[in-house]
Amino acid sequence: MLTRAALDFFAFQNRRYPREAALEWVGNRYNLIRLERDLLGRGVFGQEEALLRRGKRVCGSGWLGRPLVVDGHNVQITLESALLERLLLLANDGALRDLAGQSGKFRLSEMSAMAMDVLFGFLEEFRPSKTLFLFDAPMSHSGSLAALYRERLRRAGLEGDARAVAVPEREIPYGECVVASSDRAVLAQSSWWLDLARTALDFRGSLCFTANFAGLGLDRSSADPGLIGFLQP
């Protein structure tokens, strides 16, 4: 049922129906629960939008030639969600996203340190030329989180900095760097982006997700329903 709903929602997006109205219509037609509607809302985009973002995503070692600017809370919370085995999805624009809705509730915890271990294990292996972490200052403990990241950069011998700023997306030099984020608004402005949480988890061998919409929009032809995967709760 969720596969059919995803295909219908994808088709509506391709016909440029208003996104929220289309999601409500599809959700009502298939009697989707809130979780299923959230999966579609964060995981399914029209062909043009999805391919545009995929076209800017850097893979392999292609991101190492430019400074890396990290949307700090976005990456941190996604990693923590993965370690806590919360629901994750792979969207058809290529981004790994969580459904935890923890942004406003984020607090430093033991899991925060474990997430940093995963991230810095990856960064120490590939060693970007320069890394800047930007955290959302209005969120609780942002200054403390930035300080922890600065210390981890120092201990790893990596060049870079971590700062808590009022509006991180306004501080990103989009045309000069690779941006690490899965936030739609940030990706829309980026020239190049890296799904850092997904890449670090994959490097560690612990990448898994509840729903996989990657088969939607692989090419200009109609999507194959067999390319959409779901795990049963």
- Walk along the chain (233 residues) and give the pLDDT tens digit of each residue: 899 999 999 999 999 999 999 999 999 999 999 999 999 999 999 999 999 999 999 988 889 989 999 999 999 999 999 999 999 999 999 999 998 666 667 889 999 999 999 999 999 999 999 999 999 999 989 999 999 999 999 999 999 999 999 999 999 999 999 999 999 999 999 999 999 999 999 999 989 888 999 988 765 444 444 445 554 33
Give the chain as a DSSP string.
-HHHHHHHHHHHHHTT--HHHHHHHHHHHTT--HHHHHHHHHH---HHHHHHHHHHB--TTTTTTS-EEEEHHHHHHHHHHHHTT--EEE-TTS-EEE----GGG----HHHHHHHHHHHHHHHHH--S-EEEEEETTSTTHHHHHHHHHHHHHHHT--EEEEEES-HHHH--TTTSEEE---HHHHHH-SSEE-HHHHHHHHHT----SEE-TTTTSSSSPPPGGG-EE---
* Entry pTM: 0.91
